[in-house]
Amino acid sequence: MREGYRSRAAYKLIEIQNRHHIIRETDNVVDLGAAPGSWLQVIRGLTRGTVLGIDLSPIVPIDGVITLTGDIADREIRSEARNLLGVVNVVTSDAAPKLSGHKSYDQARSIALGEDALSFACEVLKPGGNFVAKAFQGEDFQQLYREVQDHFLSVRTFKSSVSRKGSAEIYIIGKNHVSMHETEGSV
Ligand SMILES: C[S@@+](CC[C@H](N)C(=O)[O-])C[C@H]1O[C@@H](n2cnc3c(N)ncnc32)[C@H](O)[C@@H]1O
């Protein structure tokens, strides 16, 4: 790839950033489902903050990026992320299931990963933080979207022009995280 990115997925995050400005230059960022690492490369170029990538598969080292190997649903991985970063300003997730070819099964798995990414974000994000997660459109997508709305003041979807033609892939973008604590206090 001309710019040295590890995968074309890099251009999806670049599009999201250009449109939605989710990462600021001092943000600490966690990227979920990060292998092989092209989003991490883009994120490293956007912020001077700490950048952490997590994936089931090991990630070949990237200068200035911390990586962990594990499942994003694993509680220990979450507390390790909190310990490493302290404050987390942004959580991004491009996590996707290994495709089985069975459309409805793959779609359900992708929504489940979106839920895992959201629960990860709600555990680690500071109030006001931002969130991006990939999901496949279809059954239960609206439910996931509504759950994101419960935790962020502004929620949008984004279809990348880099995704394959006809792909069900879509990104949910949540900005300005409201912690449950804050919500309870404001009732
Ligand atoms: C499309 S790739 C991500 C590409 C990456 N954004 C990049 O730019 O290089 C999806 C990744 O999600 C990871 N993944 C799927 N389920 C996961 C889980 N439960 N925990 C951590 N990673 C997961 C897969 O291992 C795979 O590497």
What the chain holds in terms of domains, given with CATH numbers, is 10-186 (3.40.50.150)
Find the 22 Cα to ligand 1 centroid distance in Å: 20
- Determine the atom of ligand 1 nearest the C-alpha atom of 40: 8
In whole numbers, what is the pLDDT of the chain averaged over residues? 94
The reply to whether ligand 1 has any atom less than 6 angstroms from the CB of 169 is: no
Catalytic member of 12, 98, 134, 159: 134
Q: What is the pLDDT of residues 124-151, one digit of tens each?
A: 999 999 999 999 999 899 999 999 999 9
pLDDT tens digits for 21-43?
Answer: 999 999 999 999 999 999 999 99
Residue 64, pLDDT score: 98
Q: What string of DSSP letters covers the chain?
A: -TT--SSTTHHHHHHHHHHH----TT--EEEES--S-HHHHHHHHH-SS-EEEEESS-----TT-EEEES-TT-HHHHHHHHHHHSSEEEEEE---PPP-S-HHHHHHHHHHHHHHHHHHHHHHEEEEEEEEEEEESSTTHHHHHHHHHHHEEEEEEE--TTSPTT--EEEEEEEEE--HHHHHHH-
Q: Is the CB of 37 under 6 A from ligand 1?
A: yes
Answer yes or no: pTM beyond 0.85.
Answer: yes
